[in-house]
Structure 1
Amino acid sequence: MNELAILDAIQLMHAPWLDPIVAAYTSASNVGQLWILLGIILIVIPKTRKIGIAVLIAIIIGAIVTSGLLKPLIMRPRPCDVNPWVPMIVERPHGSSFPSGHTTAAFATFGAVLFSKSPKPLVIGVGIAAALMAFTRLYCYVHYPTDVLAGLIVGLAAGFAAAKIVEHLHGKRNPEASKNRP
């Protein structure tokens, strides 16, 4: 199935009550602020400080790969530019489409939480929030499914790398902690 056909099928889900909810949620991460805020909250709580640090590192890694490297390199036009007659519920984003920066930030956060061995409710909650963010990008007609898939992959890789970086740094600061690791 062609990607525009998938996006067009998703457009059939629009409803007057749902559009403002989706627009508000997707806009809450226009510069990653939703995920950055979560990272900061996790840092403030002593028990989750390492997870919060991993989240912020993951977001930075994801942003560098996505916005600094892949978007300028690939320069894929957005679906809303290809089909400009589809009504927009958010402002047309600047820049190219591939990969989705919103999805990258969401899944970088999820990956950092997942690979940092966080409490299960946190992993599940962030996973659901990340999946919803990815879906909003399709619903809003600003990304193709492959943009979202690429953002998911980059984000998870960034989350994994960040979790390993924090684990390594924590082990260097606390040699006893690294000896007790399985």
Structure 2
Amino acid sequence: MAEYITRLDYLILMFIQEHLRVEWLTKPLVFISHLGNSGLFWIFLCLFLLVFKRTRKMGFCGLLALLIGALITNVALKNMIARVRPYEQFSDILLLLERQRDFSFPSGHACSSFAAACALYWTSEERNRVIGVLSLILAALIAWSRLYVGVHFPTDVLCGVLIGIFSAWAAGRLIAGLQNRRRAVIENSSVKEDDENG
């Protein structure tokens, strides 16, 4: 089964390389791919959103989602599975940027991008929805760029996207739980004050 998946991954990458790579698109996609390095773009974006009260929840949820995704992807799965990069396994896959220093599965770029983007989209209010929409578009472009430049197999990126979405969902649930607990504490305090005053 693993060999069949790897073979299918290889065929998809070769199709991209032979039919979808065009000169005018290469430089922009290499740049977009670098935007996802170490999740720094998303970290700085979320820190910026923390500055403003109306986007503070978005920034906090985004950072929490990034942390969850990094723990699952970079700390656990990459080292447990230790899948080599496509260009290391197949010599006819042409690399368009520098060789990567970590393992291939799952894609950390795809994970961090979708973790942050989904968190920002799901926690955005109507007036801030454009931030979430643009974040999702950029996340999709970063994930696609990792296939285009030849540093990931399609299953690496797909699983990275799914882990990112899960991380955003988990971050949202944790924040909702904290808000409910805080609300319950405030309500209990109000009840006690009313009883004491009554």
Output the TM-score relative to the length of structure 2: 0.82
For 2:148, give the aligned amino acid. Answer: Y
For 2:175, give the aligned amino acid. Answer: V
Contact persistence 1:67–1:101 (CA under 8 A): yes
Cα deviations by residue, 1:10-61 (Å, 9 ceiling, x for unpaired):
1132222221111111112211011111111211121010110000010011
Q: Identity over the aligned pairs, expressed in percent?
A: 34
Per the alignment, residue 13 of structure 1 pairs with 20
Q: Of 122, 137, 140, which aligns to 1:131?
A: 140
Output the TM-score relative to the length of structure 1: 0.89
Per the alignment, residue 28 of structure 1 pairs with 35
- Structure 2 unmatched ranges of 5 or more: 1-6, 188-198
Per the alignment, residue 62 of structure 1 pairs with 69
Contact persistence 1:171–1:177 (CA under 8 A): no
Pair 1:118–1:80, CA change in 2 (3 A): farther
Q: CA deviation at 1:118?
A: 4.0
Cα deviations by residue, 1:59-89 (Å, 9 ceiling, x for unpaired):
0110000011111111111111112343322
Larger Rg: 2
Provide the C-alpha distance between the structure 2 equivalents of 1:118 and 1:105, rounded to a whole number of angstroms.
Answer: 22
Structure (1/2) with the larger helix percentage: 2
Please tell me whether residue 3 in structure 1 is matched to residue 12 in structure 2: no
CA RMSD of aligned residues (A): 2.0
- Structure 1 unmatched ranges of 5 or more: none
Pair 1:177–1:54, CA change in 2 (3 A): farther
Provide the C-alpha distance between the structure 1 equivalents of 2:174 and 2:122, rounded to a whole number of angstroms.
Answer: 11
Q: CA deviation at 1:151?
A: 0.4
Please tell me whether residue 161 in structure 1 is matched to residue 170 in structure 2: yes
Per the alignment, residue 152 of structure 1 pairs with 161
Q: CA deviation at 1:110?
A: 2.0
Provide the C-alpha distance between the structure 2 equivalents of 1:84 and 1:58, rounded to a whole number of angstroms.
Answer: 36
For 2:161, give the aligned amino acid. Answer: L
Provide the C-alpha distance between the structure 1 equivalents of 2:37 and 2:90, rounded to a whole number of angstroms.
Answer: 22
Q: CA deviation at 1:176?
A: 9.0
